[in-house]
Structure 1
Amino acid sequence: MTHIINPTIDLFLYDLRNSLGDDEKDIEQKRQYFYQKFHPTVQEKLKQDGQENNQGIEVEYIHLLKSTYALLDPNSSGEDGYYYPVRLGDSYGLLLEVAEPATKTPEYFAELREKIEQKLGGNTPTLGQTWMLSAYLPNSSETTPEEIEKIAKQCYKAIFPNDKKIEFDGKGEFIGATIFEESDYTLKQDMVKVGNKETFTVVQTKHIVIAIYPDEATFNKLSGFYVDWMRLFYFHHKIVWGYGQTRILSIQIKEQFSQIQTKIESIEGKRQSNKLEEISDVLSEFQAIINHYTQNLNNLKFQQGTIEINLSNYDKRLETLQKKATEKVTINKTAISFLEDFSILANEKYLLQIARDLQNFDQGLLLLEGNINAIRSQVEIEKAKNDQNFQELISVVGTGVAVLSFIGNDPKKECELIFPKNFFICESTLLLKVTIILTASIFVWFFRKYILKRS
C-alpha cells in the first residue's frame, strides 16, 4: 500500500472585486460575496481590520487581515488549515489550506476536499480556482519516477473520481519535488448571485497542480513560495476569464449584426411600397442596436488589453518564481518550464482569436453603417421628391386660384361668353369656380412638366 505524509490541499480561489462601471454598491456586494467563503468569526475580523479600506484604489497586493492568516476553525490548533486572503488589484485572492500532518494514503485527499467544500458552502469563485495537492514520501530514495507519477495520479483520482483517464499536461521539478499539472481549458459557465443580482461568470473547468516532495525538510520550504503561486495562478485565471468574456461578447455582437441584417432586409419591401414613415421608425431602431454593437466592440478591445497585460505579468511572475526557487533552494533542482505552455496557448489561441474577431467585427460595422447610410440617403431623396411634388401641387393650384381672381364679380356672365347659354356649369357658381381652378391648374402643370423642361 502506498503511503504519503502530510497530505495538503492548497486551494487558490479568485473573485472579481470591481469591474468597469461599478459603483460603491456593486463593489460592496462583491466584497460580501467574497466574505461568504470565510467562517463567521473570520468575516467579522475582515470587517474590523478593514485593511483594503486604508489603501488607495489601485493596489497590487495587500493582506486583508492584520494577522495575515486566520485559522479555519477558531478552536483548532492550526495544523489542520487556515485562510490567507489578499487583494490583487481589482480582484480578491484566497488561499484556503487543509492538511493532515499524519501518514495517509493518497485516497485521503478525498476527505480533505470534502472538508474544503464544507468550509466554502457552495460559494463559487467568479474568476477561477487552482487545486494544489502536496505531500512528501516516507522513503523517496526507494521510489522510482514512475511510482511517483502513479502516486500523483492516485492523488488526482481522489479529488476528481469521475475522470476516466488521467494524463498530465506538464511535468517538472520544484525545489526538489516532482510537480505535475493538469488543465482543462474548456470554459464553464456558472450562475452566481452577488447581492440581489444574478450574473453569469465564465471560468476554466479545471486546473490542478500536484507536487510530491522527497522529504519533510523540502516540503516545509513550500510555504516560502505561496505568495508567488498566488500571483501566478491569479494571472492565469484572469487571462482565462478575460477570454471567456470575449466569447460572450462575440456571441452578442453576432446576434446584433444578425438583427440589423434582418431589419435591412425587411426595409427593402417597405421601400418598394413607399412606406417612408415605417422606414424612418426602423432607422431609429438601428441607432440603438448600433450603439450596443459599438459598445460591445469596445468591451472586446478592453478585454484584449486585459489579457495582454495579465499575460505579460504571468510571464514575469513565472520567471521570478523560477529564479527565486533556484536561488533559495540551491541543493534541489527547479525546472517549471512546462508552465510556459499556458503562455503559448494565450498567445497563439486566445489573442489570435480575439484579433480575428475584432477584424471581422470592425468590417461588419463598416458594412452595416454603409448599408444604413445608403438606405437613409434613399429615404431622404424620396422624402425630398415627395416634398417637391407637394410644393409643385401647391404652386399649380395657386396659379388656378390666381386665374380665378381675374374673373369679374359676375362669373356667370363670363361663363356664358365661353359656353352656350344656360350651360349647366354656368348655372352653379361653385362648380364654375372649381372648373376654372382645375382647368388652369392642369394647363399650368402640363406647361411646366413638358414645355419648360424641353426648353
Structure 2
Amino acid sequence: MTSTDDLTSSSFEEKPFIYPTLDCLLYDVREILGESEKEKKARRRKFWEKVYQEIEDKQLDTLQQHERDDGANNLLLDKSEKLFGSNSEHDEKLDGFIWPVNLEDIYGLYLGTSGRYLNAASNPPQKNDEPRPLAAINDLKQQILGQLDPKAISLDKRRRERHGSLGETWLIWAKQTDGRLPQDLAQDIYARLLGSVPKDIHHHLTLTGHVKHGDLNARFFEFEATPTFWNVEWHKFLDFYPHVCVLLFPESENLDDIRTWMGKEGCLNFLRWFGFRNKVRWAKWNSRQLKAELKGNYATVKRRYQQVRDRLKSKTVNLAELQKDLSECLSDRAEYAEKLVLLDAQQHAIAINARNYEQRQRRLGLELQRTEHCNWNPDRDIEQIQFDRDNLETGLTLLDHLIRNIEGVIQIEQTRGDRALNQTVGMAGVGLATGAIAVAVATTHPQQPPKPRDIVTAPAFWWSVLVGIGFSVLVAILQAIARRGRG
C-alpha cells in the first residue's frame, strides 16, 4: 500500500475539479424490539453526541419529541439550526451542514462539507467555485473529523461510538474540470480519502454507471475492498473496509443546478438508498459473528455429550451429577436456540433490505453495472446463511438427544430408588404386622393386666419379635427370587 504523499508532485499541482464535497453518511440503530426505555435513551444519546459532542438530559428529551413512529422519514433538526463549524476550535464558518434524520427504525446522520467559503463575510457567503487540487480532499476529511470526533487524529482513529452502529458511507461529489477519464479521477479521489494507494486498488472498484436527474448527468463509481476476514469488531470492520462512492459531473453541467439538486433532494435520496445497503452489510457481518459463536458452542456441546456418555457407561451413576448436567444442557440449549433464531433474523434482514435497495435504485433512475470484483450478492449471502444454519442446527439436535437421555436415566434412577424404599417399607410392615398378630394371640384373654416389666420378660413378647423378624426375612427372600425370575 503506497502513501498518498508518494504521489507525483504534478498530482498536487493539478486542479481536476470544482466544488468538491465530502459527505459522511452514518447510520445508527434507533430501536430494538423488547428493549427498555433506559436502553432506548442510551442509544438515543449516543446518536446525538455525534452532533453535539455532549448533551444534557433535558435537551435529549426535547430532541426525542421530533422523532416520529408513523414510518415517516423526517429531519430531526431544521437545516439552518446545525451548520458546520460550530464545534471547531476557532468556530470557523464552513460551507457545510449536519442533518440528523429519522429513517423509520434507524437514525441517519448526514454530514457534508465543501470546505471554506471564498468570502464568508459576504451576504450570503460566497462559495468557492475555483478549481481545486486533489489535496482538498485531505482538508475536507479533517473538517468532517473535527465535527465527528475532534480528539481523533484520523478517520480510522475515531472512537468506537463515533462510527455508525449500523454502518456508514462516504460520498464525494464534484464537477470535473480536466480531460482525464472520470474513472481515473474517481480512483485518485478514493486513494486520497484512504490516505494511501492500495496495491490492488483496481479490485476495489465494484460499481460503475450513470446518475441522471432531469438534464443533469453524472458518472458514478463505488469502491469497497472485499472483506478477507470478518472476526473483528464492527467499528474496526468499517475502518478496514470503508464504503466509498464518487459522483463526478461533467464540466458542461451548471454548478448551481448541481448544488441545488445535491443540497435538497439528491442527498436525502442517497441517504435512504445507502441506508438499505448498510443494513444488508451489517446483517451479513452479524451472521458471520453468530456463525463463529455457534461453531464454538457446537464444540462445547460435543465435548459435553462425550463426557456425559462416558459417565453413563460407568457402573455407578451419581444422581446429583446427572441433575447438574441436565441443568447445564438446558442452559446451553436455550443459548444455542436463541443464536439460531438471530441467524434466521439476519437472513430475513438481508432479503428485505436488498429488495428495498434495488427498488430505491430504480426509483432514483440509476443505471449501474457491477464489476467482476463486486462482492454485493444478497442471494448468495442468504444461501450461505441457510447452509450454515442447516449444518449448525445439528448441535441443537445433539443437545435435545442428550437432554432426553439424561432425563431418562434420572427417571430410572429415581424410580429404582423409590422401589427400593417401598420394598424396605414393605418388609418392615410385614414384620410389624406379623409381630402384632403374635402378640395378639399370645395375650388373648389375660387373667390380669400385665405390668410393663412383665411384658418385656414375657415369653409371648419375644415370640412375637422372632416371628416378625422371620416373616420379614421370608418376604425379602421371596422378593429377591421374584426379581431374579424377572431378570
Shared fold (TM-score, shorter chain, > 0.5)? yes
Q: Provide the residue aligned with 1:337 in structure 2.
A: 369
Gap change, CA 1:454 and 1:27, over 3 Å in 2: closer
1:258 to partner: Cα distance: 3.5
For residues 422-441 of structure 1, the aligned pairs below 5 Å read 439-441=470-472
1:236 to partner: Cα distance: 0.6
Q: Provide the residue aligned with 1:150 in structure 2.
A: 184
Gap change, CA 1:204 and 1:439, over 3 Å in 2: farther
Q: Which runs of 4+ in 1 moved over 6 A?
A: 200-204, 339-343, 428-435
Gap change, CA 1:68 and 1:90, over 3 Å in 2: farther
1:24 and 2:37 aligned: yes
Structure 2 SS opposite 1:209: strand
1:132 to partner: Cα distance: 1.1
Aligned length: 414
For residues 388-399 of structure 1, the aligned pairs below 5 Å read 388-399=419-430
Q: Provide the residue aligned with 2:307 in structure 1.
A: 266
1:48 to partner: Cα distance: 8.8
Q: Provide the residue aligned with 1:120 in structure 2.
A: 148
Worse-matched range after superposition: 209-218 or 435-444 = 435-444
Structure 2 SS opposite 1:19: coil
Q: Provide the residue aligned with 2:249 in structure 1.
A: 213
Q: Distance in 1 between matches of 2:139 and 2:484?
A: 96
Q: Provide the residue aligned with 1:173 in structure 2.
A: 210
Gap change, CA 1:311 and 1:68, over 3 Å in 2: farther
Q: What are the ranges of 5 or more consecutive residues in structure 1 without an aligned counterpart? A: 193-199, 323-333, 412-425
Q: Provide the residue aligned with 1:197 in structure 2.
A: none
Q: Provide the residue aligned with 2:450 in structure 1.
A: none
1:47 to partner: Cα distance: 4.5
For residues 41-440 of structure 1, the aligned pairs below 5 Å read 47=59, 53-54=65-66, 56-67=68-79, 70-74=82-86, 79=95, 81-100=96-115, 101=128, 102-121=130-149, 122=158, 123-139=162-178, 143-145=179-181, 148-165=182-199, 166-167=201-202, 168-175=205-212, 176-186=217-227, 187=230, 189-190=232-233, 205-215=241-251, 216-217=253-254, 219-220=258-259, 221-223=261-263, 224-271=265-312, 272=314, 273-322=316-365, 335-338=367-370, 345-348=377-380, 350-407=381-438, 439-440=470-471
Gap change, CA 1:91 and 1:226, over 3 Å in 2: same
Gap change, CA 1:256 and 1:68, over 3 Å in 2: farther
Structure 1 SS opposite 2:196: coil
Worse-matched range after superposition: 366-375 or 5-14 = 366-375
Q: Distance in 1 between matches of 2:174 and 2:327?
A: 65
Q: Distance in 1 between matches of 2:383 and 2:473?
A: 69
Match of residue 11, structure 1, among 24, 35, 51: 24
Gap change, CA 1:246 and 1:89, over 3 Å in 2: same
**1:189, 1:203 within 8 Å by CA — same for their partners in 2?**
no
Aligned residues: CA RMSD: 3.6
1:344 to partner: Cα distance: 5.2
TM-score under structure 1 length normalisation: 0.79
Deviation per CA, 1:129-161: give whole Å up to 9, x if none. Answer: 11111222224xxx243xx33322221221112
Gap change, CA 1:203 and 1:353, over 3 Å in 2: farther
Q: Distance in 2 between matches of 1:265 and 1:231?
A: 51
1:5 to partner: Cα distance: 1.7
Q: Distance in 1 between matches of 2:462 and 2:108?
A: 92
TM-score under structure 2 length normalisation: 0.74
1:87 to partner: Cα distance: 1.0
Worse-matched range after superposition: 222-231 or 443-452 = 443-452
1:11 to partner: Cα distance: 1.2
**1:131, 1:207 within 8 Å by CA — same for their partners in 2?**
yes
Deviation per CA, 1:84-116: give whole Å up to 9, x if none. Answer: 221111211111111143322213212211221
